[in-house]
Amino acid sequence: MSRQVRQRGSTLIVSLIFLLIFLVMALSIFRGALTSSQAIGNMQWRNEAIAAANEAIDRLLSASDIATSPQVVTQQVNAVTPLLTYDFDGDGTTDATVRFPQVARDDGTTRAGPRCLRVAPIPASQLDPDQAEDAGCFASAGAGGIAVEGSGGGASAFAGSSSLCSNSEWSLTVQAADPRTNTRVDVVQGYAVRVVSVAVETCD
């Protein structure tokens, strides 16, 4: 074999090696770009699901029966026909649905819906009968309530007595799901509601 033929063979081998290196580098760059694109897409879908869950929580907390009728609210939200649906891109197709997921309770069971954590009666001494928001927590002495009429025409509470209202504390877990992207996010929100004492009997 002549020297010129050997040089051409070496050049071909070196060229193939460099070509293989460039191919591996191109594949690595392509895979990195694809991974980044997927990560960005996943983050966007997750953020959209969280936004839907937070908006649903705002809507639920504005409902007057969220503390007094949690089972009714749960049935309405988890109905066969979804109550809380969201269309992010405005194409008329539901992108995410929000429901109450099953959550473990202290008694070992799992249930969906708002969870009552504690209810504490509000002492009458902490309320002002002249304030509209507090006035409904007092009752007249003649009706067997805990407030009596003072000489000045206002109501004065018996020392140490509880009012007709209680402070209730709740935990609300909602789940936003997007079936197209298999995105599923749980968001937990705590909140407090003043209720009539008899409206919430016990907490679980």
Query: Would you say residue 137 lies in a domain?
Result: no
CA distance to 19, 21, 45, 86, 153, per residue, from 42 (Å):
34, 31, 5, 18, 64
d(CA 101, CA 190): 16
Identify whether 135 is part of a domain. Answer: no
How confident is the model over 56-102, as pLDDT tens digits? 999 898 887 888 888 888 998 999 888 888 888 778 888 899 999 99
Asked if residue 106 is part of any domain, the answer here is yes
- What predicted TM-score, i.e. pTM, was given to this entire model? 0.66
44 domain-assigned: yes
* Position 42 in a domain: yes
**The pLDDT of residue 9 is above 80:** no
* Local structure of residue 136 (DSSP, 8 states): T
- In tens, the pLDDT along 138-167 reads 764 333 333 333 333 444 444 457 788 888
Q: Is 137 left (phi over 0), alpha (psi -120 to 50) or beta?
A: alpha
Overall number of domains in the chain: 1
> 103 in a domain, yes or no?
yes
| Mean pLDDT score across all residues of the chain | 79
Which domain covers residue 44, as residue numbers? 3-117+167-199
